A and B are shown apart, each in its own frame.
Chain A
């Protein structure tokens, strides 16, 4: 029972594993130091005033690198993590997650890392690494990378989807949490290709294939898709998109509203006896 005069609040705990799309929609979007969107709780305040989202956010090097419970990932040794710059993806955390450390109501993931993040592989030991913000690395670090590692590229789509299927199963089994996965809008403003003769898949085509695979996986496993592709298409990419990944503040708000809609549909805001 609540104390007199105190408002009863339902706290929804969310583990959000992803990068800019996850952070800018659920937490905040800041451009040039100016706060442009203040995250999912803005939507909740308006639509579900008794509910607050408590979000634990973790960046995601790539979906297929998230270790499942009991797995020992093949990660770069500590000495490498110490000597190389990290960028937004600290090397010692690239193969780790706190996802399974505590119970949550929902886990939110995104296809973004699988769509865009190309990795390097250590030639001798085989571990993978995301050399984030490589353009800012010093010459010595670059030389190490060139001599010790080789380009491993993007993950095959089948590998990503297989790994995601196992991850969803593990989340549902270990955490009994709802799983939401963001897809991506494949549009890059201004890009217009009518013939792909001799060309490899563009990032836009790769996103379309991933989105289609994600829908198929959702049909089999029952997790929810936050359909960023549809949200952008409905309002218009000219209005909502800045580049392949970044949306305008209005775009992030619409994505956050869709997350709230899905969580509500899944019963995450229902009042429980213990609240």
Chain B
């Protein structure tokens, strides 16, 4: 009887222990995968960037050689090297892309928040480009911006026979075609963010301001838009993150050309690592991209996590 009892106790203790480690056992595969394929691979790429690998990876370290080559003659004004062109394009692209998406997205969100009949209908239209692949978007805009039969032809047929629009093949303008397509694709997303933000604003503040005789534009400018600050921050971070990663649109619209005039860090990395057999050099550019993204994301995530913890 007594041993029986002890056995039973022992058994539940054992089961209890299994129950305790079960959750850990279940997530171990994921954590192992993350350790290898996220952190391990980041380390691996970093290692390659410190070597002299060309066609095949070699693992003898040569120090910062690739980084020195990357930033040799780096100048955002003279743009003598391909890497400076890529970084310069990224700056131009992200500033315009973010600014235009936010301005149009915010305005449309404010207009949509005016008790609009058919709001759902409008929202569906504004957001559908987000469901498309950048390759599909790029294919469409490549045709629309076609220098002969596209927009140029349309405007000419409308009676402006001297109209020319050849940005897609002009090396100093082609980067703007990428902005046009990217804005078309991503504005709806920014709009959705702002709309959610607007819906979260306490109505009584607006009513009080109205009672005080403030006009509607003034209420928006002075009260509502400033209170959307966290949404602005989220939108900028997400769009900046998208910009640094932008690869698909460039490949389909211009392939980085004419020449390498629309190269961006992501296409630069791909070209050197996969097409030109300069693994270490490509890896170094990937590390720079990674560091840039982390410099933006880690402070953001940190503050987000801290805020949610405090809110609990």
- To the question of whether A and B form a pair in one complex, the answer is no
**Which A residues fall within an 8 A CB radius of B?**
none
Residues on B facing A (Cβ under 8 Å): none
